[in-house]
Chains A and B, each alone.
Chain A
Amino acid sequence: MNLELDQDRQMIRDAAEDFLSAYSDSAKVRAAHEAGGMDAGVWQRIAAELGWCGIAVPEEHGGLGLGLFELALLQEQAGRFLLAAPLFSTACLAAPLLAEAGTDAARQRWLPALAAGELTATVALSARGLDPFAVGDGVRAEPDGNAYVLTGRCRHVPQVLGTDLVIVAVRLGGEPALFALPADTAGATLMPLETLDQGRPVAELVLDGVRLPADSWLDAGDVAAIHRALSHSAIALAAEQLGLAQQCLDLTVAYAQERQQFGRPIAGFQAVKHRLAEVLVKVEAARSAVYGAAAEVDAGVSDKELLFAAASAKSFADAAARFAAQEAIQLHGGVGFTWEYDPHLYFKRAQAFSHWLGSADAWRERVAAQLLEDAA
Chain B
Amino acid sequence: MSEQIESLRRELADWLTPRLAGPFGQLRHRGGPGDEDALGVERKEWEQELARGGWSCVGWPTEHGGRGLSIAEQVAFHEEYARLGGPGRMGHIGEGLIGPTLIAFGTEEQKQRFLPGIVAGTEFWCQGYSEPNAGSDLANVQTRAVRDPDTGHWRVHGQKVWTSLAHESDWIFVLARCEPGSQGHQGLIFLLMKLDQPGVEIRPIRQLTGTSEFNEVFFDGAVAEAGHVVGAPGDGWKIAMALLGFERGVSTLGQQMHFAHELQLLVDTARKNGGAKIPVIRARLAEAALGLKVLRANALRMMSGADDGQLRREALSYKYAWSNWHRELGQLAADVLGPDGDVIDGELNRLQQVYLFSRSDTIYAGTNEIQLNLIAERALGLPREPRPVVPSKG
Contact = CB atoms under 8 A, between A and B. Distances in A.
A234 B305 CA distance: 26
- Chain B contact surface mostly: helix
B63 interface: no
A27 interface: no
Contact of A368 (B268, B282, B300): B282
A176 B321 CA distance: 40
- Chain A, interface size category, equals 35 or more
Contacts, number: 132
A316 interface: yes
Nearest to A364: B286
Contact of B282 (A276, A293, A372): A372
B291 to A, nearest CB: 8
A60 B350 CA distance: 54
A315 B282 contact: no
Nearest to A253: B380
B283 A280 contact: no
B382 A257 contact: yes
Contacts of A287: 301, 314
A277 interface: yes
B385 interface: yes
B286 A274 contact: no
Contacts of B176: none
A22 interface: no
A292 B287 CA distance: 16
Nearest to A1: B300
Interface stretch (A135-143, A164-172, A263-271): A263-271
Given A280-B380, A316-B290, A361-B283, A292 B375 contact: no
Contacts of B343: none
A301 interface: no
B320 A268 contact: no
A119 B278 CA distance: 47
A253 B382 contact: yes
29 contacts: A253-B381, A264-B383, A265-B383, A270-B373, A273-B372, A273-B376, A273-B380, A273-B383, A277-B317, A277-B320, A277-B375, A277-B379, A280-B313, A281-B320, A281-B321, A288-B295, A289-B290, A291-B297, A311-B290, A315-B290, A361-B283, A364-B282, A364-B286, A365-B283, A367-B289, A368-B282, A372-B270, A372-B285, A375-B267
Interface of B: 267-268, 270-271, 276, 279, 282-283, 285-287, 289-290, 293-298, 300-301, 304-305, 313-314, 317, 320-321, 369, 371-373, 375-377, 379-383, 385
Given A273-B380, A291-B297, A312-B293, 13 more contacts: A257-B382, A274-B369, A274-B372, A276-B376, A277-B373, A280-B375, A287-B301, A288-B301, A292-B298, A292-B300, A364-B286, A372-B285, A375-B267
Q: Which 4 A-B pairs have the closest CB atoms?
A: A292-B297, A273-B376, A268-B383, A368-B282
